[in-house]
Amino acid sequence: MILVTGGAGYIGSHFVRYYTQCRPAEKIVVLDNLVEGHLEALEGLSNVHFERGDINEFDAVKGILKKHSVDAVVHFASYCYVGESQENPSKYYENNVAGSISLFRAMDECGVKKLVFSSSCATYGVPTKLPIDETHPQNPINVYGLTKFLIERILEGYAYTKDWSFTALRYFNAAGAHPDALIGESHAPETHIIPLALKTALGTKEQLHVFGDDYETPDGSCIRDYIHVEDLASAHLLAVEKLSEQKGGQFINLGTAHGASVKEIVALCEEITGKKINHSFSPRRSGDPARLVADPGKAVSYLGWRPQHDLRSIIETAWKWEQNKRY
């Protein structure tokens, strides 16, 4: 059985739903403290056993691993706000790094040696070449990215010393929602551009603030690589399946190789919603690179993964969700 930490969160819940659809005969355990997650995101899934708890609770996590005979972990649980990580680094070291160490120790004591980890393109920092492949130097420029970088190194130690098999998936910008709008993105506060633009279109947000329109990009706004959350879910399932034949650690980018600028996002959101999006530009935010675009070649060659959704599909599904949000 697999254990999914953070499975009530945005990406974790899409993975859990996808997994139960692809493997209807299998059960899955979700561990989430619901600090950021939503129990509603798991509604209607009969094969999911939910455990409310924290990855830092060593004895409880050990109990869950044993009780459910867990043989692999998919580890999404984390705090994810870059700005907050700069203001309160201890919160991020304690939850993301110390929490992961406690989880790994519990896994080690229970003989669980397989793991898929949610890493991030934030581990690369400011790119020195584009697109970014997995050999690009990692120089995180914020505490959030540093926590992901540190966890990757800790996992390497477990692979060397304890024979673990793990895959760290370095996501670029996750976006979109389940095509039926059953689940979707719901962060508080929301910091991601697509839901913020759509909230502005819907009128639940007055104005969209865009940081910087003087970058060295064709239209002056930042370029990012947006990946549909359902494509992330399918990559996780492939990564889990691969672990049984894998030795040691793998690091794999999850992006599409297509960059879109903030201005292009706003224009496409206006076209899809049929509404004008009231937006303004403020000065650049420090530490925001002009462009971040993935080379996803390894995800394709190693995992056999192919993203199914383009930017239009990302915004269409996110818009459907935004208008029908249940949580």
Ligand X SMILES: NC(=O)c1ccc[n+]([C@@H]2O[C@H](COP(=O)([O-])OP(=O)(O)OC[C@H]3O[C@@H](n4cnc5c(N)ncnc54)[C@H](O)[C@@H]3O)[C@@H](O)[C@H]2O)c1
Instruction: Single out the residue of 33, 142, 261, 317 in contact with ligand X (rule: CB under 6 A).
Output: 33
**Closest CB to ligand X among 208 and 232?**
232
Question: 182 to 241, contacts with ligand X by CB under 6 A?
Answer: 187
Residue least distant from ligand X (Cβ): 9
Question: 63 to 122, contacts with ligand X by CB under 6 A?
Answer: 76-78, 80, 95, 99, 118, 120
From 4-12, 83-91, 235-243, 257-265, span contacting ligand X (CB under 6 A): 4-12
Strand runs (DSSP E) across the chain, as ranges?
Answer: 2-5, 28-32, 48-52, 72-75, 114-120, 165-171, 173-175, 208-211, 223-224, 226-228, 248-254, 260-261, 279-282
Question: 245 to 304, contacts with ligand X by CB under 6 A?
Answer: none
From CA 146, how far away is CA 72, in angstroms rounded?
25
CA diameter of the chain: 56
From CA 164, how far away is CA 29, in angstroms rounded?
21
Of the residues 18, 19, 144, 171, which is catalytic? Answer: 144
From 52-60, 203-211, 282-290, 315-323, span contacting ligand X (CB under 6 A): 52-60
Q: Say whether 93 is catalytic.
A: no
List Cα–Cα distances, 281 to 29, 178, 211, 260, 262, in angstroms: 44, 31, 6, 17, 11
User: How many Cβ atoms sit within 10 Å of the Cβ of residue 238?
Assistant: 17
What letter would DSSP give residue 283?
P
Question: 5 to 24, contacts with ligand X by CB under 6 A?
Answer: 5-6, 8-12
Nearest residue to 228 via CA among 290, 179, 263? 179
Instruction: Single out the residue of 35, 162, 191, 271 in contact with ligand X (rule: CB under 6 A).
Output: 35
Question: Is there binding between residue 3 and ligand X (CB under 6 A)?
Answer: no
CB of 229 to ligand X, least distance (A): 8
- Binding-site ranges for ligand X (CB under 6 A): 5-6, 8-12, 31-37, 54-56, 76-78, 80, 95, 99, 118, 120, 171, 173-174, 187
